Amino acid sequence: MTVPCPQCQKPIAWTTENLYRPFCSKRCKLLDLGAWADGSHRIAGEPHMDETELDELIDRLERGE
């Protein structure tokens, strides 16, 4: 089966030999990861928690509560 790379659209074979699938290369995989990390890619919808709630949860977890 051939699928387009989600980053560059180059057709690639969907096989176990392709270590970067669904991407064509390590470069495309890292570009996609970077887009998620900087917020360019995100899942639509409202977050379940705002940043303040997340910070409070992290603090409680670090204190072992």
Residue 27 is encoded by which pair of tokens?
A: 């470069």
CATH number at residue 39: 3.30.50.10
Expressed as residue numbers, the domain containing 42 is: 2-63
**What's the pLDDT at 25?**
96
Q: How many domains does the chain have?
A: 1
Q: What is the pLDDT of residues 35-63, one digit of tens each?
A: 999 989 888 877 777 889 889 999 999 99
